[in-house]
Homo-oligomer: A and B are copies of this chain.
Amino acid sequence: MAKPRPSISRAKTRVSIRSTIAESATRAPRRPACEHITLLQRQPLFGELDQAQLERLVSYAKTTDVPAGTTIFSKGDPGTALFAIRSGTIKITVPSADGREAVFNLLQDGDIFGEIALLDGRPRTADAVTTTACNLLVIERRDFLTFVESNPKVALKIIELLCARLRWASEHFEEAVLENLPVRLARTLLRLVKGSEVSAKNPTIKITQHELSRVLGATRESVNRQLRAWEAHKWIEIDRGGIVVRSVDQLAMIGKQLSNHRSADR
């Protein structure tokens, strides 16, 4: 039962960021401060703060570079910091003890994560792992809380953020329970398209089929077969480590279908 199971996730750079931060994180230097500010401003969470407030917040922030495959925090850790992604992508996963994992969310630059454990002081509910090299903005719990205390309006923004998260969670729960694989895959691709290549003619998603399968809660093989079927229809192109979406519309069609009964899934 509690046999020491082989960790399936090949241990890439499994270095806790806690040490990484301690060693290499630096106070944000004067120069890129304005850049940090615009990053934070992109988030609705901080969008309405005035310049002085943003500067104060940024003064708390440190930046850190982490290579791909690094675990930022693990389920059960104390939540000591809030993160914002300056560049790179992060996956939020819930590990099951037997090596499987459900990918909860994929985040990219501009996104904030790690706020829940930070806010309620309880342990992390999920793992956060970099899927590419990332540059992160880190705000320590203590600093963030004092900032919030002196800026009460931020509390309302936090509430909005949490509500948005809950809405998102509710949608995804619904999707996971009610929809079949083709529908979930189509929707996931569309989501990734929207997030990354902004309105390119043929948006390219950079993700392996293995990752994709974890996001869907399916197997790599099933994902592969479905992707190939769509490739045969010229709706997408598959290449190593990525997918080119040639017909967003077709995917949207499939994503909109009720996956009940004979949905024409090819």
Task: Write the residues of chain A forming the contact surface with B, with a CB cutoff of 8 angstroms.
Answer: 1, 94, 96-98, 100, 102, 104, 116, 119-120, 122, 125-126, 152, 155-156, 158-160, 162-167, 169-174, 176-178, 217, 257-258, 260-261, 264
Contacts and interface: CB of A to CB of B under 8 A. Distances in A.
A164 B177 CA distance: 22
B104 A173 contact: yes
Contacts of A156: 155
A217 B180 CA distance: 12
Given A94-B178, A98-B261, A116-B167, 11 more contacts: A94-B174, A102-B177, A122-B167, A125-B166, A125-B167, A126-B170, A155-B155, A155-B156, A159-B162, A166-B166, A166-B169
Contact of A163 (B94, B104, B120, B261): B120
Tallying the copies of this chain within the complex gives 2
A102 B166 contact: no
Contact of A172 (B1, B159, B165, B173): B173
Nearest to A126: B170
Contacts of A172: 173
B258 A97 contact: yes
B152 A120 contact: no
A152 B181 CA distance: 45
Contacts of A104: 170, 173-174
15 contacts: A1-B264, A96-B260, A98-B258, A102-B173, A104-B170, A104-B173, A116-B167, A126-B170, A155-B155, A155-B159, A162-B163, A166-B166, A166-B169, A172-B173, A178-B217
Given A104-B173, A173-B172, A96 B178 contact: yes
A257 B174 CA distance: 24
Nearest to A149: B156
Given A119-B163, A156-B155, A96 B170 contact: no
A119 B162 CA distance: 10
Contacts of A158: 159
A177 B217 CA distance: 6
A242 to B, nearest CB: 24
B94 A170 contact: yes
Given A98-B258, A102-B177, A120 B159 contact: yes
A212 to B, nearest CB: 14
Nearest to A172: B173
